[in-house]
Structures are given as C-alpha cells and as structure tokens.
Chains A and B, each alone.
Chain A
Amino acid sequence: MVCTGCALLCDDIEENDCVKHACRIGRAHITSMQETSPMVAQEIVGMDAAINSAADILADAENPIFVGFGNCITETQETGITLAEKIGAGIQTFHTEIFDDILDGAVKTCTLPEVRDYADVVVFWGTDPMNTHPRLLSKYAYYPRGEKRQRGWEEDRTAITIDIRESYTASICRDTHMIPPHGHADFMSALMDALRNKVPKTAYDKKRILKLAGVLKKAEFGVIFAGADLIRSVPRDMLIRLMEQLNSVSDFRILPLVPGYNLRSIATQLHGRLDRGDGGDGSGSSVDLQDSDCILCLGFDLMNSLPADRINGKTIVIDPNETLQSRYADVVIPCAAGGVDCAGTAVRMDGINVELPQSRESERISDQEIMRRLLEVV
C-alpha cells in the first residue's frame, strides 16, 4: 500500500497483521480508527441531511471560500475546484506559492530518487523532517546508497541544517547553523554575499558563513529542502535570487517540505489562476477568511492551524477525523481517508503521480463523492 501520512507517499508499506516499513506517523495514520458522525448544528444527523444542509449553506453564501485541499486525493481536488467555480467560491491553500515557482521554472528542482542517486550536499532549511517527513533521510536524502553515492552519508553526503531551533534533524547533521527567531532573511542575505565572495555584513559568524558558501559552491548536486518556516519567513523573490546565485556558482535544486500529502497536486491544478490565495504565513488568508460568510474546510483543521480569532462565517467541515473546527462547525461531513478507506491518486512532493489503492474495507464515502453530491444539489 501507499502511505498518505505525508507527501513522501511511501509505496513500500505492507499491511497484513501489522504495518511494516511505515514510520511512527505513517503507522498511526494507517491504523487510525477515529470515527465521527455527520452533524448539523452539532446534532448527529444522517449523511444525506448533512450534505443537503451543507449545500443550502453554500447556495446562500455570498462570499464562500474553500480552505485546505492538501490532505485529499487529486480527484477530490478536481471536483472541489469545479464546485468552487460553480458557486463562485475562492480557494485558499497554504504554502503552495513555492510550487508555483517550481512549475514556472523560476527555481530548479529534482525528484527524490535523483536526490538519493546524486545529491552530495543537502540543506534542511527551516524544516525538521525527522518530525514531519520521517523517512526522508533514510529513503532519499542522507543515509541511502545511490547510483553516484555509494558511500551514503558516511563519506558521500554532507547534510546541513539552518534553523531557528536545534531540531532533531540538526542533531544528526554535520553542520548546523542556529539562527535567531526571524533570522532567515538576514542569514540568506549574508549567504548570498558570501556566495559572491563578499565578506557578509552580518552579526553572524562571518567565517562560518564563508565556509558554508564554500561547501555549497563545491556541490556537484545540491538540494535545498525548504520548510514551511523558511517559505513564510523570506520574500518569495529572495528565495528565487538565492537559487539563481547558487546556480551561477554551483548546481542546486529545491524541494519544499510542507504539510499535506497532496499539496503539490492542488498547486499544479491551481497554477496560474488569479482567483486563489496562498496563506503561506497565515496573513494572506486573514482578510478573505474574516470577510467570508461561509468557509468550507476540506481536510484542514482551520482552528488548529491558524489563530482562531480570524474565523467568522458559517463553517462546513469535510474530514476523516474529528477536528477542532468540527466542534464549532455548522455542518460536519466525515469522509474516507485517501489511500486508506478509499482509492485515488496523489502527486508526491517531487511531482511524481502515485496511485493510491484502498487499503482496508470501509463504509465511509470518499470526499470526492461528497463533493460530487454537493455539486449535484447546489
């Protein structure tokens, strides 16, 4: 089976009596048996009643907005976009702008097997994959032997972390740069100076930054894993300039490590559209969400992900699990978890399409089916 616990979409998972090869998150995701019931106004109702009630709210809404989309199968996203178009709803995703830059070719990227086979310098910037994408280091980025990296992490790979805290990932990297809170942009600017052979004007240890620039310049195949914390902390064009700078003296790619197993898919589907928002730092979303009279949360726990005082209007929750938002929602519609209770497709973080077989018997209906029924009745 394929695990949809994170955007690595590990396809080597075996599930018989027990789950084999999955990480701690994957195992919990696959075996999770949380049950929720359809609800209207916090009262348990039948599925049809919940869907009809959601349809009524959507039909009456003047300024509806759909949020999330990162934790559902591609087919649900497609139907969700069609529904949004039909009722004139905005779509709010999070941390997707970097995928736009990748899709535009503004920054160079690569696939995960290429990282495994060729990468000699990997930088984890503003991210702690050991806690978010737990098998990244063992499957692709650091430990494994690859076609050109037969000696793996021991000799062939250099791993570097740049972060505002000493994360678990940092503790296993040879070179770690701890920067102060809000320090990403300053550090990046100093690094760009160093890459241009200029002594950086910075409060950071200049020698260490120059040494880091030296390591990056010598990379044969460098990869920056950019975390949500980095993406929301630096101006978008700054990251593009860093990549240009790196590629003028070396050879570097970028891969985003952001929450949601299928974010790259929704980013691709919405690419180039002007009627969508990206609340990468939450700020982009505040006006829209505050002004909206109806928020549909699709696989996204708004109140657990953003400060809750930004949320007004009626809310509809479509999610496999009980969320904090569902405790306050006007309508709750439980759905099947993609790749567990229902089949579908998803796009891995590096752009590879992955088929997701259903891994267990389930009565739950998929979020695509829910979207399709909403589309019919609205």
Chain B
Amino acid sequence: MGKSMKMDLGFDEFLAAPEYAIIVVTYPDIFQTEAKLLHGKFSEEYQDLSAVIVLDSEDLEKIGVKYGDLVKISSEHGSVVATVKESEKEHPGIGYMPEGAWSNVLGLGPVSAKVSKSGQSVPAIDELRMSYSN
C-alpha cells in the first residue's frame, strides 16, 4: 500500500502559505515505469516516484519550500499533494510531474495550477478519486 507522509506545519503557517501560479507539464520516467512493473501501482516505490513535482530553485524560494517538502498543487480539475524535487535545470513557472494517476488529478497537461506549501499528506493511489473537483 502507498505510504502516507506527514509533516509538521502549523495551521496558521499553513493558512499563510502563499499560492504560486505554475504550469504543470507531465513527463515519462523510466524508473517510475520500472517500479510499476516490478512492484505494482500500489507500491511505495511507485508512489515515491509518481507523486512528485520538479520545481525550479527560484520557484522553491517563492513558494517557501525546499527539496523533500510537500506541496499542494491545484487546478480547475482537482488538487493533489506531492513531494518537491529540485530541478537541475532552470524552468521558472513550470513544474514537471511524472505521467500517471497523481498528475491526472490536475487534468490533461499542460495545465495551469496553483502551488503552495502543504500540511496534508500524499494521497495513496486509491485515494485519488476524492481529489477531483467534481
């Protein structure tokens, strides 16, 4: 079963977390595909490689997060929590998410989204149905 990750973020701090507009672009990841085939879609390995968003270092600063933190990404279509991965490249305003059930919640990419620091946990793959807006 998927792993739930919790972090300590005070409620006030969470409310104050600024929202930042980005465009989410999805990408295929060979390691994620491998994890899916070897361990299955409900494995921790697959979740750890799927529920991630790669953000530019400038954007990390603006959002007030660092590598390994959790962020909430919301589009018109739905919202989802993912772990931040820092990018080695520069792409301000664009966040990259692996293709799959977590990024699907936001709609078919590229999609406009808001991203902010999150105090929630990463939803397991079979909880994602509740993440859609309607």
Contact = CB atoms under 8 A, between A and B. Distances in A.
A344 interface: no
A132 B132 contact: no
Nearest to B126: A327
Contact of A182 (B38, B77, B110): B110
A32 B38 contact: yes
Interface in B84-105: 89, 91, 94, 96, 100-101, 104-105
Interface stretch (A84-92, A149-157, A268-276, A305-313): A305-313
A304 B94 CA distance: 23
Interface stretch (B28-36, B65-73, B114-122): B28-36
Interface in A298-327: 301, 303-309, 321-324, 327
A129 to B, nearest CB: 9
Nearest to A326: B41
A134 B132 contact: no
Given A301-B41, A304-B101, A309-B132, A128 B28 contact: yes
B34 A24 contact: yes
A181 B94 contact: yes
Contacts of B129: 303, 308, 328
Interface of B: 23, 25, 27-31, 33-34, 37-38, 40-42, 77-78, 89, 91, 94, 96, 100-101, 104-105, 107-110, 125-126, 128-129, 132, 134
B34 A28 contact: yes
Contacts of B27: 128, 131, 165, 167
A328 B96 CA distance: 28
A307 B128 contact: no
Contact of B110 (A25, A181, A304): A181
Main secondary structure of the interface of A (DSSP, over half): loop
B38 A304 contact: no
Contacts of B40: 34, 321-322
Interface residues of A, number: 36
Given A28-B37, A322-B41, A306 B104 contact: yes
A256 to B, nearest CB: 15
B108 to A, nearest CB: 5
B128 A308 contact: yes
B126 A181 contact: no
Contacts of A167: 27
Contacts of B78: 307, 309
6 contacts: A28-B38, A128-B28, A131-B28, A304-B104, A307-B132, A324-B101
Contacts of B89: 166
Interface string A22-42: 011100110110100000000
Interface centre among A31, A282, A304, A321 (most CB of B within 10 A): A304
A321 B35 CA distance: 13
A324 B33 contact: no
Interface in A32-71: 32, 34
Contacts of A323: 41
Contacts of B125: 324
A282 to B, nearest CB: 5
Contacts of B108: 281-283, 306-307
Contacts of A212: none
A308 to B, nearest CB: 6
Nearest to A282: B108
A130 B27 CA distance: 12
Q: Which of B28, B38, B96, B108 has the most CB of A within 10 A?
A: B28
B47 to A, nearest CB: 12
